[in-house]
Amino acid sequence: MKQFKWLSSSFMGLMLVSCVTINIYFPAAAAEEAADRIIEDVWGPETQSKEQAEPEQQSLLINGGQANLAISVLNWVVSPAQAAAATPDININSPAINAIQAKMKTRHASLKAYYSIGAIGLTENGLVTIRDAKAIPLKSRNAVKGLVADENKDRNALYAEIARANGHPEWQSDIQSTFARRWVSKASSGWWYQSGGSWKQK
Amino acid sequence: MVLICSLLFLVSANASQDIKLSIGQWSFEDIQAKNLHFDINLTSKGLALNAQADSVDLAAPIGKVTKLHLQCDELILQSESFSCGRGTLSFHQHELGQQKISFKVNGEPEKEKYRINIAGLELASAKFSATVYLNNKYWRLVTNAPKLKIAALIKAASPYLEQQQRSVLELWQVEGDINLSADIAGRNDKINTVLMKLATTSLNVTDSESSYVTENVAIALELDAKNKKQKWQWQTYLTIDKGQAYGDPIFIDFDATPITLKANGLWQQDSGNLVINNAKLNQKNVVQVTADFKGSIEKVEQLNITIAKSKVTKLYENWLQPFVVGSAIDNLELAGDLSLNYHQKAKDYHLSLTLDKIFVDDDLKRFAIDNITGKLGWTNYNYPMKSDLQWDKATLYAIPIGATRLKAKSISSSLSLSQAWDIPIFDGKLKINKLDLSRPGEAGSKWTFDGRLTPISMEQVSEALGWPLLHGKLSGVIPNVSYNNKSIKVNGALTVNLFEGSTVISNLQLDQPFGALPQLYADVDLKNMNLSILSQTFDFGEITGKLEGKIQGLRLANWRPVQLDAYFATPENDKSRHKISQQAINNLSKVGGGIGGALQRSFLRFFEDFSYKRLGLSCKLRNEVCEMSGVGEAENGYYIVKGGGFPPRINVVGYTRRVDWPDLIDRLKAVSESSGPIVIE
C-alpha cells in the first residue's frame, strides 16, 4: 500500500512537472529559425550566410533517463493533436505576418543605404535607430526619421503578432530578443549595432 | 590718486627742442608701467610724441601689455585743447597678440570732451575701425568690422567667459564671417542706445549631436534699442534668405522659404521682464505669424499668436509633419486653408482653428475627409468655447461616411457635443448622443461616446468590405465606446439584426486602429437565424430551419481572421421544419473537401430535398488551420448533417478534422459564387 502511495504521488508529481514544463517552454531554436527566415526575406540574399546555430538545451524533459518515461506519460495524457501543438515550433505563416514582412521588405530598399553609411544602426532590443545624424543630408533627415519610426512600428507589431499567432502573447519579449540577436548576426559587413550600450561595426 | 615714480631722469640734451623723459617704474591707480620712455620733438606740424614701455599692467580683462609703443607725429597742444592728427600704437597682449593700431585724437580736457578714431585693431582675423566720442560723462562708440571670423571671435572671447558658457560653446562648431557695424552710446558705465547691424553671408553651425545645423545660411539682423531708466525700448528686423537649417525636427530651406522677422517691445533690465508688442514673422510661401508676449524667459504672463490664413499643405509639411512622424497622421495629402488664434494668460489658454475647404487624404488609404469647413475651439478655461465643423464626405478604411455637421463645446480641457451628432454611414446613420473627449495627448487622455446605428443595408456593407453579398439590415445600439491607450473598447454589447435573428457582439475591442497591424477582438453570439434566408444569401442551396452559433475569442489581425472558436448548429429542441436541398448537400460536401455530385450518381437524385434532425459545424482556428467538428461523432468522423424526421433522410459525415483555413475560405467563396449544383453524370 505504501509503495502504491509512493508510486501514485510520484506519478502525479511527474504529470504536474510535465504539464508545467510544456506551458513555460519557449522554443528558442525554432524561434531563431523563424527569425532567420524572415530576416533573409526582408534583407534579401546579400545578408550574411546562415550561421550554424548552437545546439541548445531544449528542455530538461528530453535529457537523461527519465525522458522516455515522461514522454510516454505525455502520450498517454495528452491527445496526439495537443502533443503535436506542444512540439517546439514557431509558426510564421499568417496573412498578418506576411503583410508586415512584405512592408518591411519594401522599406528595406530605402533603409539599406543608411545602414551602409552608418546613419542608422541596429539596437539591442531588435529595433533600429538613427546612429549618426550627420551622415544624413539635412533635407532627408525627417524622411529617414519617418522610415525608422515606421520600421520600428512594424518590428514591434511583427514580434507581437508572432507571439499571438502561436498562442503565447507572453512570448513577445523572448521573440523580440531572439530577433535582436539574429538581426545583428545577419547584418552585412560595415553595418552598426549596439552591444553592451555602445556601438560596434560588423 | 596715487602716483609713484621710483626713478626719474630728466634730460634736456640741447636747445634742439627735444625733450626726453625716462621713468623706471610708474604707478597710477591700477596701472603699472616699467621702463617708460618719452621722447618729444618739435616739428613743423606741432609736436611729435614717442612713448615706449617694456610692459604696462592694466586692469582686467586686458591685463599685461608688453612692448608698448605709442607715437604721435602731429601732436598739437593748445590752452584748452589738444589733438593728435596721426598716431600709431603697437603692443603685444596675450589674447590679442601683436597689434598695430593707427589713431587720431582730439581732446578738450577742461570740458572732458574727446574724440578718438582708431583703425587696424585686429580681432578675430578682422580689422576693426572705431570712433569713440567722450563728452564729460557721456560716450559714444561707432565701430565697423567687416568679415569678422566667428570661430576666431569665440576663441578671442573665450578667456572672458565663464566656465559654463565655455563648455556650452565647446559643443558647437561654427564657421563663417560676420559683418558688424554698431553705434553704441551711453553715460558712465551705462549704455543708453544701441544701433547694431550684423550680417553673415555663409554661416555654418553644428552641435556635437548634429541636432541643430545650419548650412550656408545668410542672416541680416538689425537691432535698435534705447534705454530709459533701465527700461529698454527695442526693435529688431531679421532676414534669413539663403541656406538651409535643421533644428530637430524642423527643416527649413531658406532659399525656397526665406524668413523675415520684425518685432518691437520693452525689456526691463533689472527685473528681466520682457514685452514683445508686435512680432511679425513671415516665412515666404508658408506662413505669416503675428504675436505679442508679456512675461519673462521663465514665465509667460500673456501670449497671443495669430496665424493668418495659410495653405494647410505647406504648414503641415514644414511645421506639423516633422512632429508627428510615426503617428497615424504622418502621411497626409492636404489641401485648403487654415488660420489659428492662440491666447494664453499664465497657465490658461484657448485655441481657435478656422478651417476653410480642407481636404485630407491618408497616403496609406486608411481615412480621408473632403471639404472640412468651420471652427474648432479648445480651451482649459472654465468657460466654454464653441466648435462648429462640417464636411462633405469621408471614408474610414472601406466605410463611406456622408456629409455631417459637428457642434460641440470645449471647457476645462475637454470637449463634448452641444447637440446629437448624426454621421451618415452607408445608407444609415450613426447617431452619437454623447461624446466626451478629455485631455488629449496627456497620460490619462480618453474619449467615450454612446449612440445608435440606424438600419444599414447589409448589401452595401458586404460589398464595401469585400464579403459575400449579404442581405438584411444592420442596426444596433452602441451603449458605450471608449478610447484609451490606443485601444477602442465597446463596453456592453452591440446588437445586429441579421437573417431574422439577433446577433450580439460583445467584448469588442480594437487595438491600434491606425497602427502597423490593427487588432480587433470580439465575441459574437448568433441566435434564432433563419437558415432559409441565410442559405439564399450565400446561394448555398436551400436549407430550412433555424441556426444558432457562437464565435468566441475572435481576433482579426489587419482585418483578417486569425483566431476564433466558432460553432453553428441547429438549436436543441428547434420545432421548425428541417429540410435540406440537394444543392445544399452538394455544397456542404464540397466545403468539406469532398466531390460534389455524389447524390446525382445515386437513386437519391430523385429527391429534391431531405429531412434532417440537426446540422452544424464548428471550427477552431489557430495558425491558419481550422480544427473542425460537427453535431455529433460518427464512425471515423463527425456528423455535419444528422438525418431525422420524415424520409427521405440524409446524413452528411465529415472526415477531415484539420482543414487549411485559406482553402476553406476559397471553397466557401467558390460555393457561394457558383450558380448551381455541379452535376457529374
Label residue B603 by pLDDT band (50, 70, 90): low
Q: What residues in A contact B516, CB-CB < 8 Å?
A: 100, 103, 150, 153-154, 156-157
Kindly tell me if the per-residue pLDDT of B24 is higher than 60.
yes
Which site among B172, B210, B215 would you substitute to test the A interface, given the most A Cβ atoms closer than 10 Å to its Cβ?
B210
Helix, strand, or coil (residue B573): coil
Between CA B14 and CA B8 the distance in angstroms is 19
CB contact under 8 A, A153 and B326: yes
Kindly tell me if the per-residue pLDDT of B102 is higher than 90.
yes
Q: What is the pLDDT of residue B599?
A: 60
CB contact under 8 A, A94 and B624: yes
Determine the number of helices (DSSP H) and then strands (DSSP E) in chain B. Answer: 7, 45
Map out the domains of chain A as residue ranges.
1-24+57-89, 92-202
CB contact under 8 A, B251 and A142: yes
Torsion angles phi and psi, residue A18, rounded to 5: -60, -50
Q: What residues in A contact B517, CB-CB < 8 Å?
A: 96, 99-100, 157-158, 160-161
Q: Chain B closest CA to A139's CA: distance in Å?
A: 7
Torsion angles phi and psi, residue B673, rounded to 5: -90, -20
Over residues B382-390, the mean pLDDT reads 95
**A3-17, A91-105, B203-217, B601-615: which has the minimum mean pLDDT?**
A3-17
Kindly tell me if the per-residue pLDDT of B525 is higher than 80.
yes
**A11-25, A181-195, B373-387: which has the minimum mean pLDDT?**
A11-25
Q: Does B2 lie at the interface with A, CB-CB under 8 angstroms?
A: no
Residue B80 CB-half CA count within 13 A: 4
* Residue B209: closest C-alpha in chain A: A133
* Residue A144: closest C-alpha in chain B: B325
Of A157, A165, A167, the CB nearest to B515: A157
CB contact under 8 A, A142 and B321: yes
Q: What residues in B contact A164, CB-CB < 8 Å?
A: 519, 555, 557, 562-563
**B6-15, B34-43, B627-636: which has the minimum mean pLDDT?**
B6-15
CB contact under 8 A, B206 and A134: yes
Q: Which residues are CB-contacts of B438 (< 8 A; sequence separation ≥ 6)?
A: B413, B414, B415, B444, B445, B446, B447
Q: For B568-597, what is each residue's pLDDT tens digit?
A: 999 998 999 999 998 888 887 777 655 555
Q: Check: CB of residue B583 under 8 Å from CB of residue B597.
A: no
CB contact under 8 A, B623 and A166: yes
Q: Check: CB of residue A120 under 8 Å from CB of residue A144.
A: yes
Q: What is the pLDDT of residue A15?
A: 36
Q: CB contacts < 8 Å between A and B, how many?
A: 86
- Tell me the pTM: 0.79
CB contact under 8 A, B244 and A152: no
Helix, strand, or coil (residue B233): strand
Amino acid at B146: P
Torsion angles phi and psi, residue B585, rounded to 5: -60, -45
Q: Which residues are CB-contacts of A198 (< 8 A; sequence separation ≥ 6)?
A: none
Kindly tell me if the per-residue pLDDT of B15 is higher than 70.
no
B602: enclosing H helix or E strand: none
Q: What residues in B contact A132, CB-CB < 8 Å?
A: 210
Of B210, B562, B627, the CB nearest to A165: B562
Between CA B405 and CA B391 the distance in angstroms is 7
CB contact under 8 A, A166 and B517: no
Q: Does B208 lie at the interface with A, CB-CB under 8 angstroms?
A: no
CB contact under 8 A, B624 and A152: no
In this structure, is the dihedral angle defined by the CA atoms of residues B483, B485, B487 and B493, taken in order, positive or negative? negative
Q: Does B466 lie at the interface with A, CB-CB under 8 angstroms?
A: no
**Chain A 42-101, CB below 8 Å of chain B: which residues?**
81, 85, 91, 93-96, 99-100
* Residue A133: closest C-alpha in chain B: B210
Amino acid at B358: I
* Residue A104: closest C-alpha in chain B: B516
Kindly tell me if the per-residue pLDDT of A83 is higher than 60.
no
Q: What is the pLDDT of residue B155?
A: 81
Strands, E assignment, B623-680:
625-629, 632-634, 637-643, 652-654, 658-660
Q: For B264-282, what is each residue's pLDDT tens digit?
A: 999 998 888 999 998 999 9
Q: Does B423 lie at the interface with A, CB-CB under 8 angstroms?
A: no
C-alpha cell belonging to residue A143? 524622411
Q: Does A157 lie at the interface with B, CB-CB under 8 angstroms?
A: yes
Which site among B204, B320, B521, B558 would you substitute to test the A interface, given the most A Cβ atoms closer than 10 Å to its Cβ?
B558
Kindly tell me if the per-residue pLDDT of B418 is higher than 90.
yes
Q: Taking the domain B1-111, which CATH number applies?
A: 2.40.128
Between CA B468 and CA B418 the distance in angstroms is 40
Q: Chain A closest CA to B48's CA: distance in Å?
A: 60
Which site among A82, A94, A106, A172 would you substitute to test the B interface, given the most B Cβ atoms closer than 10 Å to its Cβ?
A94
Strands, E assignment, B322-445:
332-345, 348-362, 367-379, 385-391, 393-396, 399-401, 404-411, 414-417, 421-425, 428-438
C-alpha cell belonging to residue B434? 454623447
Q: What is the pLDDT of residue B602?
A: 63
Between CA B480 and CA B494 the distance in angstroms is 9
Q: For A140-153, what is each residue's pLDDT tens digit?
A: 999 999 999 999 99
Beta bridge partners of B508: B490
Average pLDDT, chain A: 74
Cα separations (Å) of B6 from B34, B36, B55, B163, B452? 10, 11, 15, 39, 104
Map out the domains of chain B as residue ranges.
1-111, 299-386
